[in-house]
Amino acid sequence: MRILVVYAHPVDTSFGAAIFREVRTALDRRGHEVRVLDLYQMGFDPVLTRDERLAYETPGTHREVLDEHIGAIQWAEGLIFVYPTWWYGLPAILKGWLDRVWLPEVSFALPKDDGPIRPLMQNIRLLGGVSTYGAGWWWTRYVGDPGRRTIMRGMRSICARNCQSFWLALHKMDSATEEARRAFLERVAHRLERL
Q: Which pLDDT score, from 0 to 100, does residue 62 have?
A: 67
CA-wise closest residue to 87 among 131, 48, 45: 131
C-beta atoms surrounding 15 within 10 Å: 17
Q: Are 137 and 189 in contact (CB under 8 A)?
A: no
3-state SS class at 79? strand
Q: How far apart are CA 117 and CA 166, in angstroms?
A: 24
Cβ within 8 Å of residue 117, ≥6 positions away? 108, 109, 110, 111, 158
pLDDT digits (tens, 9 = 90+) for 17-67: 999 999 999 999 999 999 999 999 999 999 998 988 888 888 777 677 799
**30 residue type, one letter:** R
Q: Which pLDDT score, from 0 to 100, does residue 111 have?
A: 87
Q: How far apart are CA 60 and CA 66, in angstroms?
A: 10
Q: Which domains does the chain have, with CATH numbers?
A: 2-193 (3.40.50.360)
Whether the pLDDT of residue 161 is over 90: the answer is: yes
C-beta atoms surrounding 104 within 10 Å: 15
Q: Are 116 and 158 in contact (CB under 8 A)?
A: no
